[in-house]
Amino acid sequence: MLTVWTSSEAADWEKTTLHVNGSRVEHWPGVGHYLHEEQPQRTEQLIRKWADTM
């Protein structure tokens, strides 16, 4: 599982709930709901790096 949160509290909480190896939680402050549109290169890099670990 790969998730991105704009809220540090939500990211910290989700980190405690993931029990699947390879799961990753990112905290991106200042990004809105459409992070893939707001930061396309960063989103692509994150997904590629995460997928490469699978």
Q: What is the pTM of this model?
A: 0.78
pLDDT in tens, 1-54: 999 999 999 999 999 998 888 899 999 999 988 999 999 999 999 999 999 987
- The CB density around residue 18, as the number of other CB atoms within 10 Å, is 14
Determine contact, residues 54/22, Cβ cutoff 8 Å.
yes
> Residue 35 is which amino acid?
L
Q: Kindly write down the DSSP assignment for every residue of 2-51, as one continuous string.
A: EEEES-HHHHHHHHHH--STT-EEEE-TT--S-HHHHSHHHHHHHHHHHH
Containing H/E element for 52?
helix 40-52
| Domain edges within the chain | 2-52
